[in-house]
Amino acid sequence: MKNALITGASRGLGLALATELAKDGWTLTLTARGAGDLSAAADRLGATAIPGDVTDPAHRLRLAEAVQDLDLLVNNASGLGAVPLPRLGDYPIPTLRELLETNVVAPLALTQAVLPALRRNRGAVLNISSDAAVEAYEGWGGYGATKAALERVSHVLAAEEPDLAVWWIDPGEMRTRMLADAVGPQEAGEAPLPEEVAPLIVKLVTERRASGRHTRGSLA
């Protein structure tokens, strides 16, 4: 039996990944802040729903206690930060601190919490990143800085845990609520659906490719 824990699983890419993994026979534990949407997704997929905020240490402890047997952690939960997207010269520092907590500290802390279970199963960690981590887009400095930090965390984790597979994935633009908040619904509506991207990522998991950075293009 293959067991996965997916954060931010009530909608978007997290839900699409959960759907694909369920098709492949995985047992899923799903978490997200939106309890209603999460419960509906879990009921449909036959998964366990544990609603909560991954920035909350008590919630991370609940998740770790619930997944004593774990093969895959998907750190998908993420924040966008200030909108409309501000230039760095105007970026509100309290918002940036909150964004770092959501996009960097929480994924690392959750990874630490479930690491014993992952080590026992020689499991895998999949962190969702962005091209904003490596490209300089005006207005995306705050978000991009957090994703760059997440990529560095991922890369070092891969070096320190050679028995695990550690992937950091740039899935490209997708038709999600987050992208619509960033660029507007019209532009976001032209992007691929998360359901089109998720099978590529699940294929990487199934094949257990070497640890490293991957993009939607490299997975196709």
Question: What pLDDT, in 10s, does the model give residues 11-55?
Answer: 999 999 999 999 999 999 999 999 999 999 999 999 999 999 999
Predicted TM-score (pTM) of this structure: 0.96
Tell me the per-residue pLDDT of 158-176, one tens digit each, with 9 for 90 and over.
999 999 999 999 999 999 9
DSSP character string of 163-218? TSEEEEEE----S-HHHHHHH-HHHHTTSPPHHHHHHHHHHHHHHTPPSEEEEHHH
pLDDT at 220: 81
Domains and CATH numbers, the chain: 3-219 (3.40.50.720)
Pick from 199, 145, 186: which is nearest to 23 by CA?
199
Q: Name the catalytic one among 26, 143, 167, 168.
A: 143
Q: Is the dihedral of CA 191, 103, 208, 17 positive or negative?
A: negative
> Is residue 143 annotated as part of the catalytic site, yes or no?
yes
Q: What are phi and psi of 72, to 5 degrees?
A: -150, 125
Strand partners, 165: 124
Whether 154 shows a pLDDT value over 80: the answer reads yes
Instruction: For the chain, give the mean pLDDT.
Output: 97
Ranges 35-39, 141-145, 178-182: which has the least confidence = 178-182
